[in-house]
A and B are shown apart, each in its own frame.
Chain A
Amino acid sequence: MSTANAPVSIEEIHADLQSKFSDMIGELRREPAATGTPYIVVAAEWIRDVCLYLRDEPRLLMNKLDLLSCVDFRQINGQEYAGQLGVVYHLSSLRQDGNDWRTIHRCALRVYTPVEDPRVPSVSRVWRHADWHEREGYDMFGIRFEGHPDLRRILLPDDWQGHPLRKDYEVPEYYNGMRVPY
């Protein structure tokens, strides 16, 4: 049991993914360089296959999606991410060790998608609980998760206009006859 639960470092996961998916996998980054959580950049159209591999590969077994969050990168790091939205996936491997459940290792993935037509394959068939995370991403950022079973707004009313966590979002003057600004 102890050898099966050996942790795999993110550098090893990155090398493994690169040998499997070649140039669909970008570099391994840290922001800020010394202290930030390392993440692997993945080509957006391959994210579902990469996630499926990470989940099912016996050495890795990333069986838990801790968090799926979307970010508007346009005003965060200047020109580097110009015109891009992103989705960040935090994965962990939760396994039984005797009577305990332990997190063996973690990794973070990131994809970028253009703000004009943001489309990212859905991972809700890989981890079922990605469903509502992706609906929230769609609600707040307007990212279309392709292959999602039920991509509707989750928090805001169905008749809401726009996606409020985008940096260029303008608060409407009225919503259904109710004045919105203070």
Chain B
Amino acid sequence: MGLLNKLDSVDGFDSGNIVLTSVESLLNWGRLSSIWQMSFGLACCAIEFMAANASNFDMGRFGVIPRPSPRTSDVIIISGTVTLKMASRIKRLYEQMPDPKYVISMGSCANCGGPYWEHGYHVLKGVDRVIPVDVYIPGCPPRPEALLEGLIRLRDKIRHQTMVKHTA
């Protein structure tokens, strides 16, 4: 939305007291710049997820802060194999998150069952069977760059959310 481009620039606003924007883009901008994630990892994808949080990839620069509770989280990253035993727990965690809430499905297992698709009697074949997913990240496991890409896709999605009913 370019607000920050006005900072210290020659083409800044003339009067210091006025900022022009729409409520919608202000809300979306605030929301997409502080996507608080739930501290939640499941399997080997969680290792890449931790790497993305650590200093080399530094997911924190996008305003992603790990939260210890679902009640203060905006996004849950399903990083790994979802067993049937875990699926009901994930559903409960998701239901405890306040709206608006987002889900990133990370890696083949969370997307579709991954290597367990055929003989995994204990694996849920895709987390979208229990909770709605916003962004799917392919890979087994996806590299941290891929997770950052998924996060940026989620930011794009939030940026274009609207309160107005679309009419044809």
Using a CB–CB cutoff of 8 Å, the interface residues on chain A facing chain B are 155-157, 164, 169, 171-172, 175-176, 178-182
Please name the residue on chain A nearest to B88 by beta carbon: A176
Identify whether the interface residues of A are mostly helix, strand, loop, or mixed: loop
Query: Cβ of B84 < 8 Å from any Cβ of A?
Result: yes
B121 near A164: Cβ-Cβ < 8 Å: yes
Selected A-B contacts with CB under 8 Å, 8 pairs: A156-B122, A169-B121, A172-B121, A178-B124, A178-B130, A179-B129, A182-B117, A182-B118
Query: Inside 8 A of B87's CB, which chain A residues have their CB?
Result: 178
Question: Interface readout for B122-136 with A: 1 if CB under 8 Å, 0 if not?
Answer: 101100011000000
Q: How large is the interface on B (under 10, 10 to 19, 20 to 34, 35 or more residues)?
A: 10 to 19
Residues from chain B with a CB closer than 8 A to the CB of A175 are 84
The reply to whether B118 and A178 contact each other, CB–CB distance below 8 Å, is no
Residues of A within 8 A of B122 (CB): 155-156, 164
Q: What string of 1s and 0s marks CB contacts (under 8 Å) between B8-31 and chain A?
A: 000000000000000000000000
**A168 smallest CB distance to B (angstroms):** 13
- For A172, the chain B residues whose CB sits under 8 A away are 121
Residue interface bits B38-76, CB-to-A below 8 A is 1, else 0? 000000000000000000000000000000000000000
B138 contacts chain A at the CB level, 8 A cutoff:
no
Q: Which 3 A-B pairs have the closest CB atoms?
A: A171-B121, A157-B85, A182-B117
Given pairs A182-B113, A182-B117, 15 additional interface contacts (CB within 8 A): A155-B122, A156-B85, A156-B122, A157-B84, A157-B85, A164-B122, A175-B84, A176-B84, A176-B88, A178-B130, A179-B125, A179-B129, A180-B84, A181-B125, A182-B125
